[in-house]
Amino acid sequence: MGKIKIVHYINQFFAGIGGEEKADHKPEVREEVVGPGLAIQAGFKGEAEIVATVICGDSYFGENMEEATKEVLGMISKYNPDLVIAGPSFNAGRYGVAAGAVAEAVQNELGIPAITGMYVENPGADMYKKSVYVVETKNSAVGMRDAVAKMVPLALKLVKGEEIGSPEEEGYLARGIRKLTNHLKQNSQCLTLTG
């Protein structure tokens, strides 16, 4: 496998466009690494590159969810990425909902692995943790380094088709998935919550 191609989804704030006054920003794509993408790309240490950044305002996405999702998916699909990373959105609620929706749609409609990162109390975390790997982040962007340190190894495992460990091992929010495991020492089986 050559260098992993990533499309990164971020909101208008992390793209440097503006705050609430620019939250109605329509989807756009830039063929450059923007904002937190710099830290994410550096975290891959040459194994992956962000080939495009898709940007959408939080209000625009929230008020036009179906249309915005289609627009964003259209932009992402043109790059035929190996992986999509949405966020991290920390505790920004509308951003978290958008990032979760994008990651879920990318997986379900494009068949491309996707991950996101959010603070556990972000509304998007509860909405999407069962369908998407949501890496647990700190409350604010101060936790960017920690978020990247968790997202990159999990992203690599997803792309390479490697086995994903438990939420405690990998740093993602529990998905409520149970897995039958063998315990050879006790010669028994038990059902454990692994993801």
The answer to whether residue 190 scores a pLDDT higher than 60 is no
Q: Dump pLDDT digits (tens) for 15-45.
A: 999 999 999 999 999 999 999 999 999 999 9
b/e per residue 90-102 (b: at least 16 CB within 10 A): bbbbbbbbbbbbb
Rounded to two decimals, the pTM is: 0.91
Which residue did the predictor score with more confidence, 109 or 2? 109
Which tokens belong to 10?
Answer: 């971020």
Q: Dump pLDDT digits (tens) for 120-163.
A: 999 999 999 999 999 999 999 999 999 999 999 999 999 999 99
User: What is the 3-state composition of the chain as percent helix, strand, coil, each rounded to the nearest 5?
Assistant: 40, 25, 35
The answer to whether residue 178 scores a pLDDT higher than 90 is no
The answer to whether residue 106 scores a pLDDT higher than 60 is yes
The total of other beta-carbon atoms located within 10 Å of residue 190's CB is: 9
Asked if 99 and 89 touch (Cβ cutoff 8 Å), the reply is: yes
Q: Please, which pLDDT band fits residue 191 given cuts at 50, 70 and 90?
A: low
